[in-house]
Amino acid sequence: MRKIGVGVIGCGGAARIGHLPWYARNLSVKLVAVADKNEKRAKKVAEKYGVDYYTDPEKLLQRDDVDAVSICTPVALHMEHTIRAFEYGKHVLVEKPMARDVHECNEMIKASEKASRILMVGFMKRFNPAFQYIKELLDAGEIGRPHYMDVHWSLHDLKGYEYFRYKAETGGGVFQDHGSHYIDLVRWWFSDEPSEVSAEFNIMVPGREVEDHGVALIRFRKGSIATIEATRIGPLEPIYTYWERGQVYTTRGAVIFKVPDWTSYEMPEVKVFDGRKWTCPLIHKRGIDPPEHYMFKREIDHFVECVVNDKQPIVTGKDGKAAIEVINAAYLSQIKGTKIKLPLRDFKINEKMFRNFPRFPF
């Protein structure tokens, strides 16, 4: 069987940790080329994997031996690079968040449908065995129906403001970045869709153009509630760089979880309360090199399988859009001071809107 040719556009941390190593180890893949506007970075990555490199992604997309691409560029470029990839007939795995706004998501989905090519969004947490366990537990109904989730995800960065995620052109800050993961997870875990959103944000560190702390409250169609806090000015976890933890309440019990750094091969810690007692299910790691349980590896393997077998991924463009819809609604809620009803049909982000976000007297 012919291997599929893969290219990676963007050679930052997401590509180096979550995409390139796992394409290189997939027996159905021939890693062909990488692209990054930073030539030094592109060349270094290309030399590591023995592939070609470009500073212009167009040249990568023009190659006939590239069947599929990962888009790992900054969020503001996701729509442009994704649509161009579809115009060249490539399948696409685009990193989360899918885009800046609902309008861009709609354009990406249309391009995918026009090209008859796969559009998958990189919500790698769905491929984490611990989070899959929680999904199976909730679906089984053994501890009742979920009615509430809250999650807190913090890191400690009081100095930075040049990073692209601190710029208004990105279309959002830490809530767009980290919040998008748990918007996707709660939709998946609850098997439900958001109906309204309210939120409060602050810009804490001088020089930043978008929120670096915020909390959103999401009401779902079937009555459940979720709160998501995301911050770049919170505490560090004692072991890992990030401090990520949360809980789900059900009608008969609860689930709590604590998550290691996204670069770690360790598994999240999960505890289950069935209304009488707590248990800690053993969720085993599988393998060392490669770590078969690692969420990024499993995500890449799934994307490759979908391309090879021409099947729909479990995380589609519609899932990516659903998260962006909540994020856009949360920003509107901050500005308008009210709950925002969903859906947002074709919302376009305005970079100037973040000038109206509160600035905490740091």
Residue ranges of domains in the chain: 4-124+293-315, 126-287+322-356
Q: Which residues of the chain have pLDDT under 70?
A: 1
What's the confidence (pLDDT) of residue 1?
61
What's the confidence (pLDDT) of residue 362?
75
- Which top CATH class is 126-287+322-356? alpha beta
Tell me how many degrees the CA angle 10-290-33 measures, rounded to the nearest 5. Answer: 30
DSSP 3-state of 26 = coil
What's the confidence (pLDDT) of residue 170?
98
What's the confidence (pLDDT) of residue 2?
76
**CA separation for the pair 165, 171 (Å, rounded):** 9
**CA separation for the pair 265, 88 (Å, rounded):** 35
What's the confidence (pLDDT) of residue 93?
99
What's the confidence (pLDDT) of residue 111?
98
CA 150 from chain centre, in angstroms, equals: 18
Name the phi and psi angles at 225, rounded to 5. -130, 145
What's the confidence (pLDDT) of residue 240?
80
The number of beta carbons lying within 10 Å of the beta carbon of residue 75 is 25
pLDDT in tens, 314-345: 999 999 999 999 999 999 999 999 999 999 98
- Which top CATH class is 4-124+293-315? alpha beta
